[in-house]
Structure formats: C-alpha cells, structure tokens
Amino acid sequence: MNPYSCPNCRIDIRQSVAKSDIARVKSMTDDTNPSLRQVSPEPCALCACLIGQVCKSHGLTPDSPRVADLICTRVEHYRKAINAESGGLSSIPPRLLAANLDGIPEPIRNILDKMDFVKRLRREFGIPALGLGLSAKARSGKSSALAALAVYRCRSAAMHHAVRNTVGDDRTRIVWLDWPGVALKVNADRTCGEVEHLLEWAGKAQLLILDDIGLEGGVNWPNGDPKTSTLLLQSLIRLRHDHGAPTWWTTNGTAKEIIARYGDAVADRLMALAPLHKLDLPPHPGNEI
C-alpha cells in the first residue's frame, strides 16, 4: 500500500500538494467548501483538509518538500481512526450496512435538507445532539436511511479526528436496537444484571438507534407485561438526555399511537429528545426493511 495514498480518493497526496497553491490551501481548511468536491486527480475533501492542516500547523507552503511527509503521518492516523470508528458499526444489521445517502427516499432527504442535518452531522458530530424520529409504513426505507446516516457519521468522525490528530471516544460508538426484539428479551429475562448491562451499553453510546418502536407485543408476547417496554424506554430516554448524545428512532405508528402505547409523559420526552417526522411513503416492492 502506498503510504501517501489518500484513503478516501486513493490518489497520491503528493500529486495533490503539487497541484495546490497558497490561496487554494486557505480554502481547503473548510471541509464544507463545495469547490472541494473534485474528481481525481484533484484533491478530495480529505486531501484538502490534510494539506490545509499541515500547512497551517507548521507554517509551510504547499510546495515545501516537508508537506508530503507530514501528511503521510496524518493519512496513517486517518486509516487507524476509520478502522476504529467502523468497529462501532458492528451492531447495525448487516443487510443495512450497504445503505448510502444516495439511496435515501426523496421525502426523507427533503426533511434532512430542511434541518441541514447532513451538514451539521459532518461538522458537529452530534454536539448539540441531533435527534431524529421517522414515522412511515413498513418497508418504506426509513431504517436504511438511518443506517446510511450512521455510516456517514462514522466516517465523518474518523476524518474529524484524523485532521486534528485527536483520538475518538473509546465508548461504544453506535448502538442499533431492534426494539421489539429487545423488549421481548427483557420481558422474558428481567434480571437486574441484564437490564443494567443493556442500559449501560445503550444509554452511553455515542449514537443510539431504536428501530421499530411500538411494534413489540402481538403473538410473541402472550405473557408479556406491557409496562416492561414502557419502563425500559423511559429509562433509556432519561439516560440519553443526561448523556447529551444523539438518539434516532423509527416507528410504523403515528404520534397518537405512540402516546397511546407509552403514555403522554414518555412519548412527550421521546419526541422532545428526537422529534418525530411523519412521512407518507408507500412500501417499496423490493425493500425488505
């Protein structure tokens, strides 16, 4: 592997340095600059950030022979960071890991655009916490949309740490909970140790995703206590609020149905933590999620 190759666009960063000038480098320190969205062999956003950071930190110009070597160390840092951050994706269902931002249904993209969600996600990494709730029919693409955002957030966090030579938080990065399955398991085995472990793991995650809230129950819940999932959700909401990290969730129900199932207090706190957006999305024939 070429130690100078950018992990993002794969070109030799020394080529990027050779094509840069002082004016361009000044603009490169802003990774949101639309002009940075270039095609190879021009620098990508990561190349741009690395070049800009190195020149700014060491008082160098892009044509300095030291720039490429200094960037090389940051490229390696990025590789380590992205590997570490990717480990946080392990709880996301494998079938969703291939989701990407381009595949998000247009109505969901419109909501995200109005909230400036992706831009804030890239620049702030959940500080302040970016809560999000999506309500739509089954198999409409809402779960894959959250998965795509989670993967994007993971890569953005790795880039954030790499260009600043910082280390990410070593807590579990992303926790994805299939809410009906979790509620069923907790109801079947309500030992204090198991519940405390779940709350510790999910409550302090850098990002918590609760999928299919409101679907627990039915034929697989013959002896289930309906208060179990309500109490569990209430505890998680309190922990997430105290922790100040983002929480995302999906449901097939409406806001009224969420209130009817969990009560006014729990539902209000959930929607204050992560506002619910109702979407009129028909089930996609080829979508299994």
* DSSP-assigned states of every residue in 18-74: HT--HHHHHHHT-TT-GGG---TTS--HHHHHHHHHHHHHHT--TT-THHHHHHHHH
pLDDT value for 210:
95
Average pLDDT score over residue span 160-179: 70
Q: Are residues 128 and 265 in contact, defined by beta-carbon separation less than 8 angstroms?
A: no
- The CA distance from 11 to 104, in Å, is 28
Please give the average per-residue pLDDT across 110-128, as a whole number: 77
Total-model pTM: 0.71
Contacts by residues 215-222 (CB-CB < 8 Å, ≥ 24 positions apart): 215/179, 215/180, 215/251, 215/252, 216/179, 216/180, 216/183, 216/184, 217/180, 220/184, 221/184, 221/187
Which pLDDT score is estimated for 189? Answer: 67
pLDDT value at position 160? 65
- What mean pLDDT value characterizes the chain? 75
Whether 196 shows a pLDDT value over 60: the answer reads: yes
Which helix H or strand E contains 277, and what residues bound it?
strand 276-278
Cα separation, 62 vs 194, in Å, equals 55
The mean per-residue pLDDT over the stretch 8-24 comes to 58
Tracing tokens 């979790």 back to the chain, one arrives at: 182
Residue 193 has pLDDT above 80, yes or no: no
pLDDT score for 28: 38
- 153-167 pLDDT, tens digit each: 877 777 666 656 665
CATH topology assigned to domain 92-278: Rossmann fold (3.40.50)
- For the stretch 28-82, pLDDT in tens is 334 443 333 333 345 566 677 677 777 877 888 777 778 777 777 777 766 666 6
Confirm if 7 and 50 have CB atoms less than 8 A apart: no
Q: Could you give the CA distance from residue 112 to residue 219 in angstroms, rounded to a whole number?
A: 36
State how far the Cα of 89 lies from the Cα of 190, in Å rounded to an integer. 27
Domain ranges of the chain: 13-86, 92-278
| Distance from chain centroid for Cα 136 | 20
Write down the pLDDT at residue 262: 92
Residue 85 CA to residue 173 CA, distance in Å, equals: 7
pLDDT at 266 over 90: yes
Spatial distance between the Cα atoms of 254 and 214, rounded to a whole number of angstroms: 10
Identity of the highest mean pLDDT range in 120-129, 144-153, 194-203:
144-153
CA dist., res. 219 & res. 118, Å (int): 39
Asked if 174 and 154 count as a contact pair (C-beta separation under 8 A), the reply is yes
